[in-house]
Structure 1
């Protein structure tokens, strides 16, 4: 009974409301005709738009343009309906940007054009379908509101392959287009391109930020600022953009959606917009191009591997033949056949006690001719006395290698192999988390479609498997294979140098563990650079440069170790400095502000001062030696020996090296404080490379000053290394991405492939830098071959 009464009351209420409600005014709207009217809460309009579609392929969806003077408090409500789809919005349109909200009193919407649902295929013939669209307009405002509406046909909706299309958008007027993968047999049979994978290229002359989204052809189409990133692939673009789109992800074709942002924060990460909000009309040029074929993949990979394999044969075999046939073995039995009997330096030490109880060393050196290649045991007893008093190195005389190579070869070899063990340990524990991280990045990108996550060169990023940018990963193969070749060369060279007695007295101590560490570092540079290119961005750039630091430092340490084997920095100290460099690189990426640069410059200057003193005094100076009393003593003794000695350096060559080195480092520090460069890892690498090259030049110059020579083979290696380094720097500076900028700004550097339709400038940089580093290592390996049978007493230290 109660239920019946409740139903009757509800029916009466519904009838009463229907009687009081004003019926909607029905209007038939024609295309390209402007309709203007007024509306309030007592009036409602229903507009019908009818069309007959004869050709599904060329059918263009309607675009509804509407403008009104409605307010935010009482907006105009618009509902557009088709047979199975409906979209709704309101005027004024409120768009929430990253730095505030923006209001627009006009909009343009494209009716959803769901090809799969609306059109039925019967072979190659299309059915004629009557499509009716209804537009409902209403408001809750009791004041009269003006509105103007117009329905237009979208001039271009289906994008053709390799044809440029230009159009405009605004934040309140998004646009989208349709592309279907070609089925043209004449194009497919040519085989010159891959039509099942296409590259979308977008260009614009202005900096207005927008989002480009690739969505499947189903309704609704997400074309608003709030939901454009909800489906498919998407990226932010200002002047240039690109996306590689495979057919297997969109077998029926895809929509290309363009939505202009109300501000530029998403592209520039700043609240400043270059264009007034009311004038944010973005002009866009769109073109879709086919990708390369899989045969192009195979050809590029085979040519790359073939060139490296050819290098193994063309360089490796002649070099092995030369070293076997043209090089005298490092063994005691070949000493008499190679050179005259060496001179041995006998060092006698006379110790006197000064007035303050300190000991000063007065060193008398005499050269005597020995009857055999070995040094008399009494000389070594004297040398042990010299080793006890390190003040000998502070004298003004010219030291020789015999003064700084007194440790047994086995001890030096063990010390050298610590570099290899340390670099292997660092490589394993550093590389595994890196690989895990970048693979996770790649999986997130594949799942979400967020193209801003990785800073690819989208115009030359060729996917393979789950990798979005296979070519930039693969181009690091040169580092790996050339690193392996250098390890092989080092191993064969070590096998031919097994005479410990010979190494104890002749030639520069080889320290093969250091060379092995260099080869491993070159291999790890290839692995970590490839890992970085799986998903390059500002958070993992340090992976690309970490082992470049290692190689630069190892080269510098090896040069110093040649003439200072007993006092050279050990592996723990070296890798401790490298660990500090990596920490600074991380902080420099995350917080490259003025305070960081000031702190870094202070640390750098103090480090330069400390190393300068250690190098100048050949490791004899310690912090506890820094006292006013000792400083006064040195000045008094120098003054009494001659007033000019107070300012005249004891070791002129080392003074010149350290003066130039500090000058270069101070110049780099001044540049850093003036410019505050954002790319701190590259700046740090520049410091390492500058110091290494400076020491390299100094070392070669000093060899010729001391009547030594550099063999032609070493000069050939050096010339090839220099040519590769200069060429590589050219390609490095012509960058295709910039991780220190935003993703949208990075795309402005994107360029098309330059080599084999597969590699860009950065890939060429990988190849050239790998060759350059390999030949640099070969220079270090053969730099002192001219001294291979020279006694330690005849090899000067500088």
Structure 2
């Protein structure tokens, strides 16, 4: 023993005596023993004696070994615990046995078997002998038996790409060292276990003392994850100046953090709860992360996939005119991109005025005044109604047994153009004010994590990059719609008969809104995937509801342009859907009152919408609505038992009510955990039902589906099938705890960069783009058919 240790021992003995190591006036006997590694020491300690075990440990700069202290207390019903103090050259570790660990609500769990690894700071010398001492003391006057064993951990340093297995428990945490090899700047630490529970924590900490390796302090420094079966953390060399780090695995005292059951509450505040066997076998593998070449290949692949759609669109557009009254080539359209830039700045209505300004100079003063009036952004659809007898004419026309598009396309085209442009302007405004706080939150996340503002620094960069398809294909769809819009406006200026009186009336405002919504879905989904959690789930779903709603509105608008919902009403309804989505996630789980209220509102909304659709918007909501309903039921169903006047509409609405009532009953009975997806499923089911009805009625009416929309329908159906397959693979989800979500993690299957969810992003963006093209082109066969020969359904 070095000579400087003698006064230290004397001081320690005096401190123990002063702090209650014995009665007043008594002295505590201090016994020092030279101890050896891998030897089990059975001894007894009381308040009157203290034992110090002295160890010599040779450390080398080229070899790292761990030192592990294992303690067992053999006595039962201890009144005072045994205190173990490990004094090292640069660190002190102390713990008591039984070790009391606290869980939720301060519940106490005692552990009589404790194992701790000593912190070993790096040495600069080639070889150095260090001394450390283990002091054992207690305040109990009765003798307490214990076992002490100190052993070397030969495999203390983890090797790259080599699995290392060990066992951990709440009182026996484990940690190991990893040193970055030359040429490796980023590694992925993967921890796996065959056992769901007990819940555990994986932590990455710098090489420094002390090491935080207990349940109550493991989250203090470094990076950590809760885990059941799987956990993985990406570690960069630049974050660790010593080019090495500790991998710490701690088993928690309770399982609530991993979604496990809540233990019973103790009857007394000081009651100790038996924790049982909470040992867990864990495997650790440290592998090099993907290099920059894989990132570049992933980005090039993503760009190549979606740029190919631009190329394919260009090829198709060069060969196929968008409509029978289009005489210009696609090259002519490309020359119009100067106008497209103006269009992005001053809007769709102003672009029309610019394109047509040269043709209108010879018009009368009255026409000039009307042109000025249409250029005002404040003009809305309620400012005009060109029906001569506004009330009687509507009621007569809309109650005909067989309606044609000409019957529901009687309003001034300028009015309807303004009406549907509002859809785009409103969604553009919503997008700006919705996206700004989302981006701000993402930047805050990045800052809190200590990362720069480049998304490439995110560990989930692949999930962010794969959303690029929504943005690129949404922009491509806007360009396709813009081309059709320009061509249609030119035909209108030339007063071509096909443009004025044939085909489905061309209104592009909803199409512009759909393309914008698709782009925003990509942006917000990327922001959500920076850190998917309970607080930002709505970023990923809000514009999905909008896309579904806009598609249904566009389908209805095709045959009902005069009576389609206004933008304000439509967005108000979509806002209500998003509001219920938030309420359902926050309050809907196992909340009977919420599910009853939502189901009632769902059914009432279905009935109200069915009534409005059946009577073509002529059903007034006022104080006499219930009286009229009873009267109609009495006269049509009881008194004369007449069949419905509009058979096709009735079939659609009956099927729609069956579907929606069934979905409402399912929600009320099953109460699905993922309320946002349940709400989205309602929207998608209604959209698919209406789309199928539209196709069937189109074919029943003797109309045809041209080659291009038919190819789009088949292609989109196949892509949707593959997309849904990857969507239902059960990957990570915010509805569960982070530990439970990580159980579903899988390796990247595409280019070692994109996982199943990324493939869902790719395929769903392509499928949505294809669905939009179907809506855009499915009635191209009617462009030469008079509107009074096109049926309404």
1:313-359, CA deviations, whole angstroms, 9 ceiling, x for partnerless residues?
123332343126x734399xxxxxxxxxxxxxxxxxxxxxxxxxxxx
Note if 1:759 corresponds to 2:754: yes
CA contact (8 A) 2:423 2:513 kept: yes
CA contact (8 A) 2:387 2:393 kept: no
Q: Specify the SS of the correspondent of 1:789.
A: coil
- Aligned partner of 1:676 in structure 2 is 671
Between the aligned partners of 1:25 and 1:724, the Cα distance in structure 2 is 78
Q: How many angstroms does 1:446 deviate by?
A: 3.5
Gaps of 5+ in 2: 1-13, 19-23, 265-272, 329-384
1:214 aligned to which of 194, 204, 207: 204
- Aligned partner of 1:239 in structure 2 is 229
Between the aligned partners of 2:569 and 2:393, the Cα distance in structure 1 is 24
CA contact (8 A) 1:216 1:254 kept: yes
Q: How many angstroms does 1:638 deviate by?
A: 5.0
Relative distance call for 1:465 and 1:627 in structure 2 (3 A) is closer
- Aligned partner of 2:257 in structure 1 is 266
1:697 aligned to which of 692, 701, 704: 692
- Aligned partner of 1:718 in structure 2 is 713
Q: How many angstroms does 1:625 deviate by?
A: 7.6
Gaps of 5+ in 1: 1-12, 122-126, 189-194, 332-380, 450-462
Q: Specify the SS of the correspondent of 1:751.
A: coil
Between the aligned partners of 1:516 and 1:734, the Cα distance in structure 2 is 33
For 1:634-673, list aligned pairs within 5 A.
Answer: 634=632, 643-645=640-642, 648-673=643-668
- Aligned partner of 1:729 in structure 2 is 724
2:326 aligned to which of 329, 335, 345: 329
1:480-514, CA deviations, whole angstroms, 9 ceiling, x for partnerless residues?
01111111111111111124464452211121111
- Aligned partner of 2:7 in structure 1 is none
- Aligned partner of 1:788 in structure 2 is 783
Relative distance call for 1:742 and 1:635 in structure 2 (3 A) is closer
Q: Specify the SS of the correspondent of 2:750.
A: coil
CA contact (8 A) 2:228 2:740 kept: yes
- Aligned partner of 1:424 in structure 2 is 428
Deviates more, 1:669-678 or 1:281-290: 669-678
Number of aligned residues: 700
Note if 1:618 corresponds to 2:607: no
Q: Specify the SS of the correspondent of 1:284.
A: strand
Note if 1:201 corresponds to 2:207: no
- Aligned partner of 1:164 in structure 2 is 163
Note if 1:538 corresponds to 2:534: yes
CA contact (8 A) 2:110 2:274 kept: no
Relative distance call for 1:671 and 1:39 in structure 2 (3 A) is same
CA contact (8 A) 1:393 1:617 kept: no
Between the aligned partners of 1:439 and 1:616, the Cα distance in structure 2 is 49
Q: Specify the SS of the correspondent of 2:58.
A: strand
- Aligned partner of 1:354 in structure 2 is none
For 1:458-537, list aligned pairs within 5 A.
Answer: 465-498=456-489, 499-500=491-492, 502=497, 503-537=499-533
Note if 1:107 corresponds to 2:87: no
Between the aligned partners of 1:790 and 1:439, the Cα distance in structure 2 is 54
- Aligned partner of 1:335 in structure 2 is none
For 1:18-167, list aligned pairs within 5 A.
Answer: 20-54=26-60, 56-69=62-75, 73-99=79-105, 100-115=107-122, 119-120=123-124, 127-167=126-166
Between the aligned partners of 1:729 and 1:528, the Cα distance in structure 2 is 20
Q: CA RMSD in A?
A: 2.7
Relative distance call for 1:633 and 1:382 in structure 2 (3 A) is farther
- Aligned partner of 2:352 in structure 1 is none
- Aligned partner of 2:443 in structure 1 is 439
Between the aligned partners of 1:445 and 1:52, the Cα distance in structure 2 is 39
Between the aligned partners of 1:547 and 1:321, the Cα distance in structure 2 is 34
Between the aligned partners of 1:387 and 1:401, the Cα distance in structure 2 is 19
Between the aligned partners of 2:620 and 2:164, the Cα distance in structure 1 is 72
1:349-385, CA deviations, whole angstroms, 9 ceiling, x for partnerless residues?
xxxxxxxxxxxxxxxxxxxxxxxxxxxxxxxx99745
Q: How many angstroms does 1:728 deviate by?
A: 0.8
CA contact (8 A) 2:65 2:153 kept: no
Between the aligned partners of 2:320 and 2:623, the Cα distance in structure 1 is 50
CA contact (8 A) 1:439 1:534 kept: no
- Aligned partner of 1:391 in structure 2 is 395
Deviates more, 1:579-588 or 1:310-319: 310-319
CA contact (8 A) 1:529 1:544 kept: yes
CA contact (8 A) 2:199 2:251 kept: yes
Between the aligned partners of 2:280 and 2:636, the Cα distance in structure 1 is 76
Between the aligned partners of 1:576 and 1:666, the Cα distance in structure 2 is 23
Q: How many angstroms does 1:771 deviate by?
A: 0.6
1:268-310, CA deviations, whole angstroms, 9 ceiling, x for partnerless residues?
164149x972211111111111111101111111121122222
Note if 1:177 corresponds to 2:176: yes
Note if 1:578 corresponds to 2:585: no
Task: Output the TM-score relative to the length of structure 1.
Answer: 0.84
Q: How many angstroms does 1:215 deviate by?
A: 0.5
For 1:8-23, list aligned pairs within 5 A.
Answer: 20-23=26-29
Relative distance call for 1:141 and 1:567 in structure 2 (3 A) is same
Q: Specify the SS of the correspondent of 1:446.
A: coil
Q: How many angstroms does 1:467 deviate by?
A: 2.6
Q: Specify the SS of the correspondent of 2:427.
A: helix
1:591-636, CA deviations, whole angstroms, 9 ceiling, x for partnerless residues?
1233222211111101000000000111111123845764576567
1:654-708, CA deviations, whole angstroms, 9 ceiling, x for partnerless residues?
1111111111111111211222111111111111111111111100110111111
Relative distance call for 1:630 and 1:137 in structure 2 (3 A) is closer
Between the aligned partners of 1:428 and 1:627, the Cα distance in structure 2 is 40
Q: Specify the SS of the correspondent of 1:182.
A: coil
Q: How many angstroms does 1:768 deviate by?
A: 0.6
CA contact (8 A) 2:68 2:115 kept: no
Q: How many angstroms does 1:36 deviate by?
A: 1.0
Between the aligned partners of 2:174 and 2:485, the Cα distance in structure 1 is 68
- Aligned partner of 1:310 in structure 2 is 308
CA contact (8 A) 1:61 1:154 kept: yes
CA contact (8 A) 2:36 2:55 kept: yes
Q: Specify the SS of the correspondent of 2:226.
A: strand
Q: How many angstroms does 1:393 deviate by?
A: 5.2
Between the aligned partners of 2:663 and 2:42, the Cα distance in structure 1 is 68
CA contact (8 A) 2:178 2:246 kept: yes
1:459-482, CA deviations, whole angstroms, 9 ceiling, x for partnerless residues?
xxxx96543321111111101011
Task: Output the TM-score relative to the length of structure 2.
Answer: 0.84
Relative distance call for 1:739 and 1:632 in structure 2 (3 A) is closer
Q: How many angstroms does 1:61 deviate by?
A: 2.3
- Aligned partner of 2:366 in structure 1 is none
CA contact (8 A) 2:88 2:131 kept: yes
Relative distance call for 1:323 and 1:171 in structure 2 (3 A) is same
Q: How many angstroms does 1:54 deviate by?
A: 5.0
